[in-house]
Structure formats: C-alpha cells, structure tokens
Amino acid sequence: MRRETTLRLPPVFGLIMAAGMFFLTGNIRAADDGTAPLYTVVDGYRVDHNTMEGFRAWRAAGCDRCHGANQEGMVGPSLLQSLKILSKDEFKKVVTEGRLEKGMPTWAPNVRVMSNLDNIYGYLKGRSDGAITRARVVELQPESTQ
C-alpha cells in the first residue's frame, strides 16, 4: 500500500522563499535609502548597468572638455579629488545649479544629465574611490553579475 505524505507549511514560508530567491539572483534592488551600493565594478572597469549609464551620460554631456577624459582636471577641477570631499547632495547641487563664477554651467536643462544624476555620481564616485580604475568602462554581462 502506497502512502503519501504532504508537508503543509504556513503561507508566509512561500513568501520568504520567493524573496530569498529574488535576492540570490539579484532581481530586486534595495531602496535608495543609502544602503544600496552606488556602483558595482569587476576587474576595475566592468560595471553594472546604472554605472554604465552614468558613464554614457558623462561622455554625452562632454564633461571631459573641462574635467579631462580621466576626470583628473583640466580647466575644471579634478573630480577624482572633488568627489572625495563633496557629498552626494553637494554634487547634485553643483551639477544642477552650476558654479558660474568658476565657469561651471548649470546642467538643469539637460534631460539626459538630470535623469542620470545618480548614475553619473555613482560612476564618478567609483572613479574617485579607486574602485573603477579606467575612465572608459564596459557593462557587465548578466552572467558576470551572478
């Protein structure tokens, strides 16, 4: 005689397991409460999608004309050094309002820059922290992030 046994678990167990699987596979991003990483980098130059978007917006805006292709400064200051001092809010204020007396324009009218402000900050912070070792980065492929 064949006997079947059914294990009954509380419904909350299924939710816990599903959430755990999402976290393990990277399908849920933490809320922007300061606990989410600003950037993900592998081998010094392979970065997550958002950081890559920050790099692309940086290049499209032509920020390298003043800050240099390696963010080490030219007419404008070295962002590798500035981002060691500026908070994220201070960075956003400078980009949004500019520093006209120092030659830094306001980027508020630029939709691409403003919609990628967090991503640009993440890219430049990664460069300033020394985690991103090359100015030119490539995007991590999905299998590389697991």
pLDDT in tens, 27-37: 333 334 566 78
User: What structural domains does the chain harbor?
Assistant: 38-144 (1.10.760.10)
144/127 Cα distance (integer angstroms): 20
Sort residue 105 into left (φ over 0), alpha (ψ -120 to 50) or beta: beta
The model's pLDDT over 100-135, given as tens digits with 9 standing for 90+, comes to 999 999 999 999 999 999 999 999 999 999 999 999
Give Cβ neighbours of residue 29 (< 8 Å, ≥ 6 apart). 36
- Of the candidates 119, 125, 121, which has an alpha carbon nearest to the alpha carbon of residue 139? 119
133 Cβ contact partners less than 8 Å away, ≥ 6 residues apart? 44, 45
Residue 9 banded pLDDT, cuts 50, 70, 90: very low
Q: What Rg value do the Cα atoms of the chain yield, rounded?
A: 21
Does pLDDT of 52 surpass 70? yes
Give the pTM: 0.73
- The pLDDT of 54-80, averaged and rounded, is 94
